[in-house]
Amino acid sequence: MRILHLPGKALTNHSKDEMKDLLDHFKPDLSLTTHMKELQKRKLEQISRYEALHLDSIQSFTARKLGNEALLLINDGSSLDSKDIDLSKLKNKKVTVITDQIREDINPKNFQFELLNTFIIDRLKKEMKDFQILSTEIEAGKKPKPEEKETPIYGFGVSESIGGTKIPNVITSWKRPHVETLDVQKVGLSAVPGMGKRFTTELENRGITSRKELCSIEPSKILEYDGIGPYRSTKWVCSAKAIEEQRVFKIRENDLAKKHRLFIDIETDSLNPRIIWHIGLYDDKKNNKKYRSFVEKEPDKKGRIIRRFVDHLEKDLEENSVLLAWYGKKFDFLHLTEFIEDHHPKRKGIWDEIDKIDFMYWVDKHAALPSRSSKLENVANRLGYEPELRGLDGEDVARRYTEYMNNREKEPDWDELMTYAKDDVVSMKYIYDEIKNAPMLHDIKDIEREYRKTC
């Protein structure tokens, strides 16, 4: 079941077409609105293809069955103590509860976040066996843990940050709900990566007001606009086409084709790591493609995994080998360099000799994608990658390993953590193959030649 949360306060200035663009992006089974005004509701209802439920309008509760799943909506005005409410029919279903009752607040005594209104969990436990709770009043991606309740509670609310306001979409049909978010401004022309307000306005002033109009013109036609060169013109036209058709296009020839590609991803205990506890490596060798995993289950021996990893590289490297990591320049390569210097400085020469490419940067320069986000998981999913595991993210995985570091008697589910780590590496290989096999809509080299003629 796919459910999109549409908070009215985040969509105040959105037109009917922009709302439809968000819905077309996520393609939810149903949309759930909160704090939405009547005018906004009417706009949404005119998009008849998608069903919407309004949490604020629910009198007591609403239950919806879908196969072996069920959805239970409980708003802040509901009373679960009423004898008229019968939840027994949901007893043998996997139930996702969405509510605005449970929320976070700061305890003035210790300045710690605590959950309010968790009393509803006790009533639900009397009626149902298998359920999880999503709160529209807790930021999407947050996973507060009321240990005394032993019931999973996940954030399903608006996410506010310097990067913008993000709305969440949830997939419930997994072991745990998988929540993805999207900036609410990524609609229309603004959905095209790197466009920005300035150039959106520039194009609109020249009569290009939609993605369909943008993807139908030649990149060379917008080279004359102030600040738009060969890369931007090619990337934007092809990206508009990619989003409209939900496919990938090359914009530059593949310069990795003859390289020995090694896709790599690391897992740490935090963004400022005390340990690299997992290194995943996919060797894309032509006749011997293979995934390899290095893991450290003894946190006190943090140098051991580094030694094993460097030993493997020394044995398997070829003259044309290249390491590829998503956001590698600012994270994976950066921290691997630090840990090699700290724990095995004599082996640093081997590490320094290897070519390293930030794969996120390479993808950006070589392809136009249907994704509106540069997050690895979102890019891979938009290209059709099916992960083995959903519902975990890097923060959650790091937290689990940190808890293990602090209490060795409580081991994490290693199989789950290793599956998550493998997905990150294999998804990069998947993205590379999709780009390698994609058609060339416009070659940036051709646009560069056109550009030189005008200079």
Q: What's the whole-number mean pLDDT along residues 353-382?
A: 94
Q: How far apart are CA 383 and CA 182, in angstroms?
A: 16
Predicted local distance difference test score (pLDDT) of residue 145: 61
- Topology at the third CATH level for domain 188-251: DNA polymerase; domain 1 (1.10.150)
Burial 84-101 (b: 16+ CB within 10 A, else e): eeebeebeebbbbbbbbb
**With pLDDT > 90 as the criterion, what percentage of the chain qualifies?**
55
**Is pLDDT of 147 > 50?**
no
Q: Read off the pLDDT of residues 231-263 as tens digits, 9 standing for 90 and up.
A: 999 999 999 999 999 999 999 999 999 999 999
Coil/strand/helix, residue 243: helix
What DSSP element (H or E) covers 205? helix 196-205
Predicted local distance difference test score (pLDDT) of residue 195: 86
Looking at per-residue pLDDT, the higher value among 141 and 181 belongs to 181
Instruction: Choose the CATH number for 2-183 among 3.40.720, 3.60.21, 3.30.750, 1.10.3470.
Output: 3.60.21
Q: Read off the pLDDT of residues 405-446 as tens digits, 9 standing for 90 and up.
A: 998 888 899 999 999 999 999 999 999 999 999 999 999 998
- Alpha carbon of residue 123 to chain centroid: 33
Domain 260-436 belongs in CATH node 3.30.420.10: yes
Q: What's the whole-number mean pLDDT along residues 32-46?
A: 91
**Is pLDDT of 141 > 90?**
no
**Is pLDDT of 209 > 50?**
yes
For the chain, the domains span: 2-183, 188-251, 260-436
Q: What's the whole-number mean pLDDT along residues 140-151?
A: 63
Contact 280, 394 (CB under 8 A): no
Band of pLDDT at residue 148, cut at 50, 70 and 90: very low
Residues in CB range of 266: below 8 A, 6 or more apart? 276, 278, 279, 280, 325, 331, 332, 335, 336
Tell me the C-alpha to C-alpha distance, in Å, between residue 231 and each of 23, 225, 246: 30, 13, 21
Predicted local distance difference test score (pLDDT) of residue 354: 93
Q: How far apart are CA 361 and CA 376, in angstroms?
A: 12
Predicted local distance difference test score (pLDDT) of residue 85: 58
Q: Read off the pLDDT of residues 63-91 as tens digits, 9 standing for 90 and up.
A: 777 777 888 888 866 555 555 556 667 77
What are the beta bridge partners of residue 41?
Answer: none
- Alpha carbon of residue 408 to chain centroid: 30
**Is pLDDT of 56 > 90?**
no
Least confident segment among 90-94, 190-194, 392-396, 402-406: 90-94
Q: Residue 135: name the closest of 118, 152, 154, 117 by CA.
A: 154
Predicted local distance difference test score (pLDDT) of residue 224: 76
**What is the residue-averaged pLDDT of the chain?**
88
